[in-house]
Amino acid sequence: MDDKILVKDELIGRNMRIIECTDPSFTNLSGIVVDETKNTFLIEVKNKQKRIAKNTATFEFEYNGKKIAVKGSRLINKPEDRIKKSR
pLDDT tens digits, 34-71: 999 999 999 999 999 999 999 999 999 988 888 999 99
Q: Decide if domain 2-75 falls under CATH 2.30.30.90.
A: no
* Residue 86, pLDDT above cutoff 60: no
- In tens, the pLDDT along 74-85 reads 898 877 777 666
Q: Specify burial of residue 18 (Cβ count, 10 A radius: 0-12, 13-18, 19+).
A: buried
- In order, the DSSP letters of 29-78 are -EEEEEEE-SSEEEEEETTEEEEEEGGGEEEEEEETTEEEEEEGGGG-S-
3 φ/ψ angles, rounded to the nearest 5 degrees: -70, -25
- Each domain of the chain, given as residue ranges in start order, spans 2-75
